[in-house]
A = this chain, B = another copy of it.
Amino acid sequence: MATPAEKHLYPIVNTDVALFTLIDMQLRVLLIRRANRPDPGGWALPGGIIKPEIDHSLEDAARRMLVAKTAVNVPHLEQVMTYSGPHRDPRGWSVSVLFFALLPSDQVSAVAGSKTEATDWANPEKPGRRLSFDHDQMRVAALTALRTKVEHGALPLHLLPARFTLTDVQRACEAIMGRAIDKSSFRRQMKTARDLVPVAGAFVRGAQRPAQVYRAAAGFAF
């Protein structure tokens, strides 16, 4: 291991992940109770120190830690921001690259904390507890990045099961944005979305009439 002087020369490099999902159509972010130092017992976003001998990139490292801590492997990680400084981690000068990721709502039950770490799906606006380190700042930044992205793309589809209705897409968008969306202009926008493919002959019962079931187009992007 490096001595304190060498730690001084080489900052600690971490990744942290804000993993979002929908639970009962409410936006939730995954928190982990820390088993180890620093701040054992504290709640934080899942993450850890990168291992240059096995990780091929920061994305790789973030994915490895997410699998280790939650047992889920997400298709896509998006960089939010990189945090840094001498005091944000008591182990020394550290850098942490924050990502967000989206988990489809029907895969929430696949998330398993390890033996020593409890998990909680918290409200990303009001998690009800203070997070360790600068993770409250990260939580807010990840939510803002997610909302900005949603206004421009097909992102909410990553939160839905493989089959969904347009009402599901609208509710997912509303859950992310934290506000109601006008239905008629939303429908007009969806009509031209190339990432939505109607599933032939598949309908679910709607309020007035049966609602068409859709799937995401193959290879749809963020």
Contact = CB atoms under 8 A, between A and B. Distances in A.
B8 A2 contact: no
Interface in A104-125: none
Nearest to A93: B52
Contact of A52 (B50, B86, B97): B86
Copies in the complex: 2
Interface of A: 1-2, 6-13, 50, 52-53, 56-59, 79, 81-82, 84-86, 92-93, 95, 97
Contacts of A95: 13, 58, 95, 97
A58 B81 contact: no
B13 A10 contact: yes
A57 B95 CA distance: 9
Contact of A57 (B7, B50, B84): B84
A13 B7 CA distance: 12
Contact of A79 (B13, B58, B59, B82): B82
A84 B92 CA distance: 21
A79 B7 CA distance: 25
5 nearest interchain CB pairs? Answer: A10-B10, A52-B93, A58-B84, A2-B6, A82-B82
